[in-house]
Structure 1
Amino acid sequence: MNKIAFFAFKEEPMCFIHVLLNALDAAEKGLEVKVVLEGASTKLIPELFSEKSVLYNLFQKCLEKNLIAGVCKACAQKMGTLEVAKEKGLEILEDMYGHAGMANFIKKGYTIITL
């Protein structure tokens, strides 16, 4: 089975929506998919849980399908969203000096795509 890990770095909602769309599409087509919120994308965490957000429904679908691997601890802390991530039950990733590392995904056979 093909495996893809999307590492989302950008804060722009219209960029992040494509991460979610591609993750759902790939999963529906039989690929194993994970999404990691990294860098500035961690600033979007409150918006992802807001029913008023254009991202809400897609993010909820990704959560339901267990496609969200987690959130970079250091970046979420820097963006002021770490506590929200914890409250919402998102996995906190910190295996690379406090950041979400790619190496563990690569070891498990994932192709890394950054957006």
Structure 2
Amino acid sequence: MSIKRIEIGPRMSQAVVHGSVVYLAGQVALGESVGAQTKAVLAQIDALLAAAGTDKSKLLTTTIYLADMATFGEMNAAWDGWVAAGNTPARATVEAALATPDYKVEIVVTAAL
């Protein structure tokens, strides 16, 4: 089985396709609020999934990391407006220290082709 890497960097690829599964690296974005960052991250996810030949209706799993669980509702408001109705993935949301204090949310997804 071949492996396709998308947006290859020195440390990681932003997406890897193996077989009929797409694995995305954790996606982060800058912005003033967790809502703004979440929307930007979801747009990045859309673009990476499209580059891999799939879309958000084929999400399998999602892990969302929040710098502060108090922002869970704000993140969910952005998520709920984006996720494909009837095709919601298995999901976990956890509080974690992210790579820099500027990041408020990081999202990792796995999707089918």
Do the structures match in fold with TM over 0.5?
no
Q: Which has the higher helix share?
A: 1
Q: Which has the higher strand share?
A: 2
Q: Normalising to structure 2: TM-score of the pair?
A: 0.34
Q: Normalising to structure 1: TM-score of the pair?
A: 0.34
